[in-house]
Amino acid sequence: MNDQRMTLSPDTARQLATATKTVPQMRGVTPRYLLRALPWVDVASGVYRVNRRRSFILGDDRISTYDEDGTPRVVAGDLRELPYLRDAEDAALDELAAAFTPVTFDAGQVLVQEGDPADRLWVLVQGRAEKRVTGRYGEDALLEVAGDNQFFDLDAWTRGEPMPYRVKALTPGTALCADRAALTRLTSRDDRLREATDMFASGEGVRPGSEAPIDLCSGHVGEVELPGTYVDYEDAPREYHMSLAQTVLRVHTRVADLYNGPIDQTRAQANLTAQALRERQEAALLNHPEFGLVNNVSAGQRVQSRTGSPTPDDLDELLARVWKQPGYFVAHPRAIAAFGRECTRRGVPPVTDNRFGSPLLTWRGVPLLPSDKMRFSGGGAVGTTEILLMRLGEAEQGVVGLRPSAVPDEMEPGLSMRNMGVDQKGITSYLMTAYFNTAVLVEDAIAVLQNVEVSTYHDYS
């Protein structure tokens, strides 16, 4: 075999060639549809105050539980979710919490029959159950699906009336139950608590989510005396302060001086760092415990998935909660895939629409924005996630993003890169900061579908 070459080898020729280079790539970059969809409000003072008409919000309509040596217990302080226990003494709450006993149930088991005495208050520790009622013409009607930490039925239990609906378990689970006699013992010893309970039972007590009334008159004829009124505002409106994501980017002067062409090393480093800051920003806007959208959904706007998998019926229920100009669903890509499978199973494939330069699934004309920042509970592959639905914009009393109107050394809106100087090691430091927040202007601007399972597949053969 003749090994003598007749031309210059490619490996040798490469020594005289210049490679065509890309800017540094980053796997963690996502489209960040949420940041692109949100209408951004420039906040000049660093504080955004949401003034609202006075309303009565009691809490999250959930009673938390914890595990004590394998036995579920009620968090005593969370019993203040019951309106007439808002100002109760801690000792009374502890006594009532001790009265709850655990009950296990199987899927399909009827927990409470319609018309039975409401002698127990139920708190679901784990599992899902549906509330059903007999309709006007004898038909079976679904009222609601209850999930973890929800309770039923407070009104009937407090008044000692028959259950207005029956409750059937959809999954195996555990509940905590308290006999009505425990409440009776407390009210018999505490006059203030008895008065608060009686007021609630009479319908005069404060109801969650209700607004201060505006007296009006309509449909009248003649010279009637018109009512006088005014609109009351909240005494302490919620204020949103700018949150931030920060880091210090370090670049050695030798690298910036000698290896700066054809790609600017400092600029390349800054761009990748800015991408990471924006990714963290989107995650915080969704999941931050104080201002994250998932954690700012009011009790009446939370929907439990009917069967676990996200179905068209579930998304229709969300649309019934955010029916005034719904803007976008936000869901994990696996949740959107699971929804697509359920649509395929029913023969109603969702329409695809082009938004932000990408084809996106829609339901009833509302796009589903994928975001891998939507959290999973109980493990990724087999855990449960959530689906948000939002109305957007200040004029629509919806959800808005917040950012400062201007910051020094701004490289993007709300993101600055400030030179901190060169240290004795020849390293230049840059403080990179992204300022942001988000606000829900009115409670019905956002709703969430909870306990969404994404691991169900179907055999279409």
How far is the C-alpha of 66 from the C-alpha of 64, rounded, in Å?
7
Q: Which of 210, 229, 254 is the last residue of a domain?
A: 210
Counted domains in the chain = 2
pLDDT digits (tens, 9 = 90+) for 114-135: 888 888 999 999 888 999 988 8
Residues 77, 44 share a domain: no
Is the pLDDT score of 353 beyond 60? yes
143 and 170 together in one domain: yes
Q: Give the pLDDT band (50/70/90) at residue 35.
A: very high
Residue 172: HSE in the Cβ half-sphere, 13 Å Cα cutoff:
1
**Contact (Cβ atoms closer than 8 angstroms) between residue 72 and residue 66:** yes
- The whole-model pTM stands at 0.81
With beta carbons less than 8 A apart as the criterion, state whether 172 and 107 touch. Answer: yes
| Domain-located, residue 100 | yes
Q: Within a domain: residue 190?
A: yes
Domain with 323, as residue range(s), is: 33-50+241-402+439-453
Beta carbons within 8 Å of 239's beta carbon, 6+ residues apart: 47, 48, 49, 50
Confidence of residue 55 (pLDDT cuts 50, 70, 90): low
Which of 184-198, 363-377, 401-415 is least confident?
184-198
In a domain, 10, yes or no: no
Which residues share a beta bridge with 415? 412, 434
Residues 318 and 360 both lie in one domain:
yes
Contact yes or no for 127/171 (Cβ under 8 A): yes
Query: 163 and 82 in one domain?
Result: yes
Residue 288: inside a domain, yes or no?
A: yes
Predicted confidence band of residue 59 (pLDDT cuts 50, 70, 90): low
Average confidence (pLDDT) over 369-384: 83
Work out whether strand 129-134 and strand 210-211 pair parallel, antiparallel, or are unpaired.
unpaired
CA pair distance 98, 73, nearest whole angstrom: 8
Helix runs in 178-264, H state only? 180-189, 191-202, 253-258
Reported as a single tens digit per residue, the pLDDT across 424-433 is 999 999 999 9
Based on the fold, state whether residues 199 and 253 are members of the same structural domain: no
What average pLDDT does range 405-426 have in this prediction?
94
Q: Where is pLDDT greater, at 178 or 4?
A: 178
Task: Let me know whether 46 and 70 are in one domain.
Answer: no
Where is pLDDT greater, at 422 or 213? 422
| Residue 204 pLDDT level (bands cut at 50, 70, 90) | low
Question: Is 419 or 142 the better-scoring residue by pLDDT?
Answer: 419
Mean pLDDT (the chain) is 89
Q: Is residue 326 pLDDT above 90, yes or no?
A: yes
Q: What is the pLDDT of residue 139?
A: 83
- The vertex-134 CA angle with 130 and 135, nearest 5°, equals 115
Are 250 and 313 contained in the same domain? yes
Q: Mean of the pLDDT values across residues 193-200?
A: 86
Last residue of a domain, one of 155, 189, 210: 210
- Mean pLDDT score, 179-185: 89
Q: Mark whether 386 and 249 lie in a shared domain.
A: yes
Each residue's pLDDT tens digit, 209-257: 556 677 788 887 888 888 888 777 778 888 999 999 999 999 999 999 9
Please give the average per-residue pLDDT across 197-201, as a whole number: 85
Tokens linked to 356: 């932000």
The proportion of the chain whose per-residue pLDDT surpasses 70, expressed as a percent, equals: 95
Q: Which pLDDT belongs to residue 212?
A: 64
Task: Look at residue 246 and tell me if it is in a domain.
Answer: yes
- In sequence order, what are the residues at sequence separation of 6 or more whose Cβ sits closer than 8 angstroms to the Cβ of residue 145? 128, 129, 130, 131, 170, 303, 304, 305, 306
* Per-residue pLDDT at 297 exceeds 80: yes
Same domain, 291 and 196: no
Burial (CB < 10 A; 0-12, 13-18, 19+), residue 163, is buried
Same domain for 361 and 443, yes or no, is yes
Domain at 85, CATH number: 2.60.120.10
Q: Mean per-residue pLDDT for 202-208? A: 58
Residue 188 resides in a domain = yes
Average pLDDT over every residue of 144-152: 87
Which runs of E-coded beta strand occur in 36-161? 40-43, 47-50, 55-56, 65-68, 71-74, 101-105, 110-112, 120-126, 129-134, 140-146, 151-152
* Confidence (pLDDT) at 82: 85
Is the per-residue pLDDT at 1 higher than 60? no
Using CA atoms in the order 256, 260, 263, 268, what is the torsion angle rounded to 10 degrees? Answer: 0
Contact call for residues 46 and 241 (beta carbons, < 8 A): yes
Of the residues 189, 210, 231, the one at which a domain ends: 210
Q: What's the token pair of residue 420? A: 């901190």
Q: Are 95 and 147 in a shared domain?
A: yes
Identify residue 388 by its one-letter amino acid code. L
Per this entry, what is the length of the chain? 461
Judge if 260 and 371 occupy the same domain.
yes
Report if residue 135 sits inside a domain: yes
The residue type found at 401 is G
Q: Extract the tokens encoding 448.
A: 């969430």
pLDDT value of residue 380: 58
Evaluate whether residue 165 is within a structural domain: yes
